[in-house]
Amino acid sequence: MDQDRILYAKPSITDLEVQYAADAAANGWGEQCYDYIFKFRDQLKSYLDVPYVIPTSSCTGALHMALAALGVGPGDEVIYPDITWIASASPTKYLGAEPVFVDVLENSWCIDPAAIKAAITEKTKAIVVVHVYGNLCEMDEIMSIAKSHGLPVIEDAAEGLGSVYKGKKAGSIGDMAAFSFHGTKTITTGEGGALIVQSPELYEKLQTLESHGRHPKSDKQFWCDEVGYKYKMSNIQAAIGAAQMERIDELVERKREIFAEYHEILANLPGLQLNPEPENTVNSYWMTTVVFDEALPFVREDLQEEMAKANIDARVFFYPVSLMPPFQSKPENTKSYSLYNRGINLPCYHDITSAQINRVCDVLKRYLDKIR
């Protein structure tokens, strides 16, 4: 195995990120301890065109606070797509409520609006939608359904930064939204996330929840009015994020260029489906993903083995969350229970070269020839 390893994901770090992180480490204390957090917050507000942003230590923490601010608790239900990472749904369990997993659409792999509508009961407290792999949910229809039932919508946009739905950035459409800046994401803070809030009333409530229950206008030091949370992003993390946000257009465009190269090579091969980009949308293509046709005898572990022989990482398509032991299985979500066995994420980090993309595609084409 004499070829360099091709990773499935890693961040794009330049001297700018190093410079900002070093400055935060050297000087970001005392009165300057929030400087980069505020800078990063304001960059996100401007980029997304939203009124309120709370930088957090993770997307999971952001979702936890969002649901807590809505009063989700025991006896409540929250609707989710079955195709997502478990972190989308875990906060509902933290609060003693139950996630209700519904099926996804075959063409986008995102939550099916009709399935949302069918799942709403008197116990439903919120709807969480996931822009999986950068693909966009049908937000107009979803927001209409939610409005007709008086339900809030939270966008899990962990994978959707830079995607655009009918002129609006992913994460700016729902009542709240959460982002991830994990090291695999389009921009990174190492670990970290952000909570987007549209309502001033919810934002005021969250200012207390995010600070251990201390009201920001309290005149008592270290006085807490309720039990809150500690999901703050560090100043050093935010410094890296601030540098990344200065490069956001470049980083999103590079993801799109990578997808375009894969698309040019793979799009005309029979039996394969790649990430969609419907009319009036822009897909940021966090992950370049391939789904094999149901008629093909595709075994993802076999393809992973072929990739590994060529020193290439490949990442499996998300399992249905309801398939995992903490939850009750829902095989009636037929699309979700079919897709996970037919999909794979291809290496698509910012620094991947055209030669490396061709290496990946050569393995994929050889495998496809073998199973036809």
160 touches 171 (CB < 8 A)? yes
pTM comes to 0.96
Quote the CA–CA distance of 260 and 254 in Å, as a whole number.
10
Say whether pLDDT at 110 is over 80. Answer: yes
Say whether pLDDT at 1 is over 80. Answer: no
206 touches 197 (CB < 8 A)? yes
* CA separation, residue 231 to residues 194, 208, 212 (Å): 10, 12, 9
The SS3 assignment for 92 reads helix
Quote the CA–CA distance of 136 and 124 in Å, as a whole number.
23
Domain boundaries, the chain: 15-246, 248-371
User: Domain 15-246 is of which CATH architecture?
Assistant: 3-Layer(aba) Sandwich (3.40)
pLDDT at site 10: 95
Q: Per-residue pLDDT tens for 192-223?
A: 999 999 999 999 999 999 999 898 888 888 99
**Averaged pLDDT of the chain:** 97
pLDDT at site 2: 59
Average pLDDT, integer, range 303-313 = 96
Say whether pLDDT at 134 is over 70. Answer: yes
Q: Per-residue pLDDT tens for 255-267?
A: 999 999 999 999 9
**Domain 248-371 -> CATH class:** alpha beta
Q: 9 CB contacts (<8 Å, ≥6 apart)?
A: 183, 184, 287, 315, 347, 348, 349
Average pLDDT, integer, range 116-138 = 98
The SS3 assignment for 182 reads strand
φ, ψ of residue 156 to 5 degrees: the values are -85, 95
Average pLDDT, integer, range 267-274 = 94
Q: How much of the chain, in percent, has pLDDT values that exceed 70?
A: 99
pLDDT at site 97: 98
Quote the distance between the C-alpha of residue 314 and its chain's center: 18
The SS3 assignment for 184 reads coil
pLDDT at site 161: 98
Q: Which residues pair with residue 292 across a beta bridge?
A: 272
171 touches 50 (CB < 8 A)? yes
pLDDT at site 293: 96
Q: By CB neighbour count within 10 A (0-12 exposed, 13-18 middle, 19+ buried), where does 147 fall?
A: exposed
